[in-house]
Amino acid sequence: MRSRFFTFISLLISFLLGGLLVYLLLMETPLFQKGVYNYVNNGVVSCDDEVTIDETGISLSVGKVYDSVVMIENIQGTTLDSTGSGFIYKKDDQYGYIMTNQHVVAGASSIVVVMSNNEEVEGRVLGSDPYLDLAVVRIPVDAVYAVATLGNSDGTNLGDTIFTVGAPLGYEYRGSITRGTMSGKNRLVTVDVSTTADYVMKVLQVDAAVNRGNSGGPLCNINGEVIGVISLKLVDDDIEGMGFAIPIEDAMTYVDSLEKGEAIERPLMGVTMANVSDTYLLLQNGITLDENISSGVVVISVSGGAEMAGLQKGDVIVKMNDEVVPNAAYLKYFLFKHAPGDVVTVTYYRDGAEHQTDITLTKSEN
């Protein structure tokens, strides 16, 4: 009996001593440390600062821009033809000024602007341009509830959070927010202006959902600043999970002219042209190319600066200055970076030999 008693006492003392040792070890090195992480010999390293999670999401940023966003109804005759979005980028003593896409207002006999508080006012298109896909619409200043803050897309990095505000699919879904990330910058995307795939635009690429009706709405950074103008014109029906926007700094370059209703002044080279791939058009004009030429722009006829510089029918333009010209859409894009009076160096092929010439650009009358 006494042996059992001493055995019990020994076990109890061992248990107490073991518990005391564990307690002392835990006091020396806490098991859970708030916000503190260490090396664990697995290659993962983190900082010693406290980690916090922002539960507010982007709601505060959305609030900064939300009331500046409008829905635009394109009325043709007495019928609602289409809807889009826009945002108020400035106001003066009399008017508020809305930026949107040219294709949102194209062909409209009248414009109805639906504000964030559901008030409807008549809008007037001051100016628009199909190559920029931009337009400016004016409304009475009394209807303006808020003006968007403009940012700069250059300050946004790949992977940064962005969001859009707009009216996808029309009136019922106006004021919708979509969130995503900046997926790409300085993308060159081929679009249709007067004919198929006849122009190239430099755009921002995002993965936020962009639907019909979002066109013309703002693309915003995490601070609620507008960094781009959404354009559904740039999205093919087969493309999913990709949206595009015109950088706001590019749009603002032309806004003064659009507000005044002035045509955007663009230069002319003095050529009519076709792509190397336009076999039927080349045959119609009696032009046969060297089989080694696979890309470029074929000169169909010349006038003005191009004629004075010595270009001829059948020449194949492959470069403008240092920019490679794969087709006519890219040639227009590079050309429209210049102004009338500028001189550009054109590299071209004639009879299998490479040549260069300088062309003085003239002013377009159209």
Residues acting as catalytic residues: 103, 133, 215
- Phi, psi dihedrals of residue 279, rounded to the nearest 5°: -60, -45
**In DSSP terms, which residues pair with 348 in a beta bridge?**
317, 355
Q: Are residues 101 and 84 in contact, defined by beta-carbon separation less than 8 angstroms?
A: yes
At residue 366, the 3 state secondary structure works out as coil
Amino acid code (one letter) for 261: G
Distance CA(329)–CA(327), nearest Å, equals 6
The SS3 call for residue 143 is: helix
Q: Read off the DSSP letter of residue 295.
A: S
Q: What is the DSSP letter of 123?
A: E
Tell me which H or E stretch contains 110. Answer: strand 110-114
Judged by DSSP in three states, 212 sits in coil
Write the DSSP assignment of 306-352 as a string of letters. HHHTT--TT-EEEEETTEE--SHHHHHHHHTTS-TT-EEEEEEEETT
Q: Structure tokens of 196?
A: 């198929």
